[in-house]
Amino acid sequence: MKKIASIIVALALLAGCQQQNSTTNKSTDKMKTEQIHKDVKKPAKSAMTDKQMQENVSANLQGEVKQQQKADTTNIKQALEILAETQKAVDLIAKAKNKEAEDLLAKIVGQLEVLMAKDPKLALIPVDVNYETRDLIADIPAVYAAVESAQKAMDDGYYQLARQILNDLASEIVVKTTYLPLATYPDAIKLAVNLMSQGKKNEASAVLVNALNTLLVTDSHIPLPVLRAEEYIKAAAVAMESKDENKEKTAVNYLENADYQLKLAEALGYGKRDKEYKELADAIDVLKKAIENKEETEGKFNDLKAKISAFKERLFFKKAGK
């Protein structure tokens, strides 16, 4: 019996070793295939200063966030007024004015249902937006070197070291948006009314206070390399419209910097390594050749700008609750 058990253990260990070797080989092969831009060299620095880039990216980001979170201001104003009335109902309960509180709450439920039916986007009302920047000063080879170090740390069982290395591989702006989840209010108020009818005014008040104090915070991670690439593309288009005798050289340099930033974003793992990165790289190459051959570029610039805008929107600007 012991001999059979020993054979089973030995076979299990052998299978485990084979599986580990297979996993390691797969990881190594995957790492090799993913290092598609390892030998890409940084292009010459563009005419755009770091300060200009930072200001352009900031303006771009704020515009995008406003666009993503826009809602009818009249409806938001009504929603905030309803919240103020909910607080008033809490005050009435505290003053033992139960009938007035119940009547006000019934009125609020009706207002909320009408408002939500009119504008479903009010399910979440943005009340505050904060930005946190995490920038990585590194080139593409350094990124891959860090990935290799993390992989080795994982293989050796140093998981916390791997986590720390990978955590530092971020070049992004984190957009933290705070929302009032208005969609939860009708049920909370109905529950409060039900508790009031049972004479449980303290419990009713607690339900309302909890609803008023409930906030939802969402994070959107916007990769800086993608935002910078977009700004370089815009700058290249502007350069081509100028009367500068070196405009072609300037525009090509901007496009080379845009291409490098997109490859950096891909190396950092933002988004999937899918065809969209290749489509953007191909569109940049087409533009560079058109500039060098003195062909028409306006349509090609518009196409490229539309591609990168759609890419950014699809992958990185996600609304809360989706």
Q: What does the alpha-carbon distance between residue 218 and residue 15 come to, in Å, rounded to a whole number?
A: 44
Tens of pLDDT, residue by residue over 144-176, are: 999 999 999 999 999 999 999 999 999 999 988
What pLDDT is recorded for position 29? 43
Give pTM, 2 decimals.
0.73
* Geometric angle at alpha carbon 145, from 285 and 308, rounded to 5°: 30
Q: What is the residue type of 144?
A: Y
Q: What does the alpha-carbon distance between residue 200 and residue 258 come to, in Å, rounded to a whole number?
A: 63
Tens of pLDDT, residue by residue over 100-120, are: 998 999 899 888 888 888 878
Please say whether the beta carbons of 240 and 297 come within 8 A. yes
- Residues 58-84 as b/e (b if ≥16 CB within 10 A, e otherwise) read eebbeebbeebbeeeeebbebbeebbe
Nearest in space to 121 (alpha carbons), one of 322, 313, 311: 322
Q: Which residue has the tokens 């891959």?
A: 144
What pLDDT is recorded for position 32? 43
Ranges of residues in the chain with a pLDDT under 50 are 1-33, 319-322
* SS3 letters across the chain: CHHHHHHHHHHHHHHHHHHHHHHHHHHHHHHHHHCCCCCCCCCCCCCCCHHHHHHHHHHHHHHHHHHHCCCCHHHHHHHHHHHHHHHHHHHHHHCCCHHHHHHHHHHHHHHHHHHHHHCHHHHCEEEEEEEEEECCCCCHHHHHHHHHHHHHHHHCCCHHHHHHHHHCCCCEEEEEEEEECHHHHHHHHHHHHHHHHCCCHHHHHHHHHHHHHCCEEEEEEEEHHHHHHHHHHHHHHHHHHCCCCCHHHHHHHHHHHHHHHHHHHHHCCCCCCCHHHHHHHHHHHHHHHHHHCCCCCHHHHHHHHHHHHHHHHHHHCCCCCC
What are residue 219's DSSP bridge partners?
A: 176
- Of all residues in the chain, the percent with pLDDT exceeding 70 is 84
